[in-house]
A = this chain, B = another copy of it.
Amino acid sequence: MSGVAIDRAACEALDAADPLRGLRALYELAPGLVYLDGNSLGPLPRTTVACVERGMREAWGRELIRSWNTAGWIDLPQRIGDAIAPLIGAGPGEVVAADSTSVNLFKVLSAAIAMRPKRSTILSENGNFPTDLYIAQGLIAQTGGTRTLRLVERTGLLDAIDADTAVVMLTQVDYRSGSRLDLAEVTARAHALGALVVWDLAHSAGAFEVALNEARADFAVGCGYKYLNGGPGAPAFVFVARRHQHDFVQPLSGWMGHAAPFDFDPAYRPADGISRALVGTPPILSMLALECGVAAMRAAAPLGGMAAIRRKSLALSDLFIELVERRCAGFGLRLVTPRAHAARASQASFAIADGATGYAVIQALIARAVIGDFRAPDVLRFGFAPSYLRFVDIWDAVERLREVLVTRAWDRPEFRTRLAVT
């Protein structure tokens, strides 16, 4: 829409024509709130409270231990995994919901390096989400320190894969800039050189189309509490391509991953298929909430599914970028998200000259009911979840940002106070 003058009424018209407009009603959103932090914690789906409450009062409270059978608790990891699968281009029996993203990464990274015993490098990028790097560091130290974690710049990734690369471990979307790697291209390059790839889909799953099997992906993990709206700290998911499942040996060999968990056999014997990625008893209340979040996301399916989500995501972020650059010009904001659609995820990030000011700007914006977040050292980050965001929300967010900048509303001590969690 570049070059065409846009105003709030034009945004309202875009909303009226939006095929996904009905999805917003599936979420609890306070009137007036513009929530651009769904990439950090997705909002509460309307079905979740009743579902978790039923899980507590009826299943736990009345049926007690019987609910493992009668309420199907025992199958939740596989059931939720199968519901997530079509969102990421995986098949049934290739995904389970379990543990945290970090723990799942440990499983697949352990399995992957064991499948390439003669190669010594885990390749990743400097800007990977830190916890992924920490997990690789922990695994390397534990397994004797003979492997190396090699970190390169994102731009040099393809060239850095070589015959010593055991595993390429990447988060598809850079959490700061929102730049997006071409999953198929990196996977193909790694495979051509004999390496395996572990993808972290934290900012991908539910945000845009991911085609794991089309790209012949090996392993992936991802987050339940961002675009899948599974609730704070929702269990994560793990994908193991069917062709690797037989050779998938992970060290967190707990009873839920056993072939016959209720035989109480003293020797571990992994279950066939993806279930061997499970460890201990899953947190059922949080699993029930995750199931509701995934179901809300799946409601887009008859409306065009992830392709429609992606189209709207790009339209929302294009609009946001254009409006910020036009309406907030002169305040030193610089887009760090790629402009090219193919290289962009579902967020827009702007660097600001002074990080301390940037932090305060985000706090002042939050005080005006526009929730984005700040990522050190200098990034204002805004995420776009097409299921519940409207074009008018984008308009309102930018207007409030403009107001914060123009009036220097950010220049107050309370907006500079760093919170424990940022």
Chain A residues with a Cβ under 8 A of chain B: 28, 30, 35, 37, 40-41, 43-44, 48-49, 52-53, 56-57, 59-62, 64-69, 73-74, 99-103, 106, 110, 114, 126, 128, 130-131, 133-135, 137-139, 141-144, 151, 225, 231-236, 249-255, 258, 262-268, 279-287, 289, 366, 371, 373, 375-376, 419-422
A363 to chain B, nearest CB (A): 10
For residue A268, which residue of chain B has the nearest CB? B134
Which of B267, B282, B289 sits near A233, CB closer than 8 Å?
B282
B41 touches A102 (CB 8 A): no
Q: A44-B60, A266-B133 are in contact. Are A280 and B234 (CB under 8 A)?
A: no
Assuming A43-B61, A138-B250, A231-B285, is B264 touching A375 (CB within 8 A)? Answer: yes
Q: Is the CB of A371 within 8 A of B231?
A: no
Q: Using known A-B contacts A44-B60, A57-B49, A283-B286, determine if residue A69 contacts B252 with beta carbons closer than 8 Å.
A: no
* Cβ 8 A contact of A287, one of B43, B101, B233, B282: B233
Q: Is the CB of B139 within 8 A of A251?
A: yes
Known contacts A74-B421, A422-B262; is A289 also within 8 Å of B44 by CB?
Answer: no
Q: List 6 A-B contacts (CB under 8 A).
A: A74-B420, A126-B266, A131-B280, A225-B281, A233-B282, A233-B285
Nearest CB in chain B: distance from A186 CB, A: 20
Residue among A66, A131, A420 with most chain B CB within 10 A: A131
Contacts of A30 in B (CB 8 A): 62
Tell me the nearest residue of chain B to A126, going by C-beta: B266
* A287 CA to B142 CA, complexed, in Å: 29
Min distance, Cβ A289 to any Cβ of chain B, angstroms: 6
- B102-A138 in contact (CB<8A): no
A254 vs B106: C-alpha distance when bound (angstroms):
9
In the complex, are the beta carbons of A253 and B138 less than 8 A apart?
yes
Indicate which residue in B40, B144, B282, B287 contacts A144 across the interface (CB closer than 8 Å): B144
Closest 9 CB pairs of A and B: A100-B280, A283-B286, A102-B254, A138-B253, A131-B255, A102-B280, A232-B284, A142-B251, A68-B421
Contact at B135–A253, with CB atoms within 8 Å?
Answer: yes
Smallest distance from the beta carbon of A285 to chain B beta carbons, Å?
5
Note all chain B residues with C-beta closer than 8 A to A232: 59-60, 67-68, 73, 281, 283-285
With contact pairs A130-B264, A137-B253, A421-B262 given, residues A53 and B49 touching in the complex (Cβ less than 8 Å)? yes
Question: Which residue of B is nearest A366, CB measured?
Answer: B66
Q: How far is the CA of A421 from the CA of B178 in the complex (A)?
A: 44
A114, A266, A366 interface centre (most CB from chain B within 10 Å): A266
Which of chain B's residues have a CB closer than 8 A to the CB of A62?
28, 30
CA distance A138 to B40 in the complex (A): 33
